[in-house]
A and B are shown apart, each in its own frame.
Chain A
Amino acid sequence: DAGITQSPRHKVTETGTPVTLRCHQTENHRYMYWYRQDPGHGLRLIHYSYGVKDTDKGEVSDGYSVSRSKTEDFLLTLESATSSQTSVYFCAISETNSGGPTDTQYFGPGTRLTVL
């Protein structure tokens, strides 16, 4: 257990509403990631962060924004949720080695988001 929590664990919301998911780590790791997992698919990277206020886009970033004001927290925001964003969202962290991320990622328990 790498000390990663996600909140909320489940959320149901309506189309057009804003939603923020939180990832919290107790390990003080520099690198944090947000993925989504859809039925029949593996994890796809939404956004990632390599330090406080340092973030970058992944392969499926449209419709999502992120913020990292503290090392321990990485927030994922859906500004105006759509039904296509119904998914399970995973946060992950990785340690730092020689200034870059290590290869092994540790995952949080996931958040199931349903957009009606």
Chain B
Amino acid sequence: AQTVTQSQPEMSVQEAETVTLSCTYDTSENNYYLFWYKQPPSRQMILVIRQEAYKQQNATENRFSVNFQKAAKSFSLKISDSQLGDTAMYFCAFYNTNAGKSTFGDGTTLTVKP
């Protein structure tokens, strides 16, 4: 079974600054994907970024990028130029390709301060 750990329950950052959210996972699988989801107060789960485990290159989506360290089983999310609209809970998720199922971390609540 996979486990996903987000060790920072809460974080805050000043508007326009950069913040990094941590995620580690444990698996014996080789074929998997990793995700970061954003959940604003509206509760909607929004896909932020996706990483294929077999790709060494870190995924990037505009102001969002990841640092994927496969050997260390680490998958952190960096948000650059933080905006007030980035305030949300962020979930790290692991997708087991063989099982076709996802495992989620417990989330990190991010507050962007003006």
> Chain B contacts of A107 at CB under 8 A?
44-45
- B47 within 8 Å of A (CB atoms): yes
Q: Assess whether A90 is in contact with B101, with CB atoms less than 8 Å apart.
A: no
Contact of B43 among A42, A100, A109 (CB under 8 A): A109
Q: How far is the CB of A14 from chain B (nearest CB, A)?
A: 24
Contact of A42 among B44, B97, B100, B105 (CB under 8 A): B105
Task: Using known A-B contacts A103-B33, A109-B43, A110-B43, determine if residue A41 contacts B107 with beta carbons closer than 8 Å.
Answer: yes
Q: Assess whether B97 is in contact with A103, with CB atoms less than 8 Å apart.
A: yes
Interface size on B, residues (CB 8 A): 21
- B93 within 8 Å of A (CB atoms): yes
Q: Across the A-B interface, how many residue pairs have beta carbons closer than 8 Å?
A: 47
Q: Assess whether A42 is in contact with B50, with CB atoms less than 8 Å apart.
A: no
Interface of A is mostly: strand
> Chain A contacts of B50 at CB under 8 A?
103-104
User: Which residue of chain A has the shortest Cβ distance to B32 in the bound complex?
Assistant: A103
Q: How far is the CB of A38 from chain B (nearest CB, A)?
A: 10
Q: How far is the CA of A58 from the CA of B103 in the complex (A)?
A: 11
Q: How far is the CA of A48 from the CA of B101 in the complex (A)?
A: 9
Q: How far is the CB of A27 from chain B (nearest CB, A)?
A: 15
User: Which residue of chain B has the shortest Cβ distance to A41 in the bound complex?
Assistant: B106
* Contact residues of A between 14 and 41, Cβ < 8 Å to B: 31, 40-41
- A101 within 8 Å of B (CB atoms): yes
> Chain A contacts of B47 at CB under 8 A?
104, 106
> Chain B contacts of A31 at CB under 8 A?
100
List B residues at the A interface (Cβ < 8 Å).
Answer: 4, 9, 33, 35, 42-45, 47, 50, 91, 93, 95, 97, 100-102, 104-107
Interface pairs A-B: 7 shortest CB-CB = A42-B104, A107-B45, A103-B33, A103-B95, A101-B100, A43-B104, A110-B43
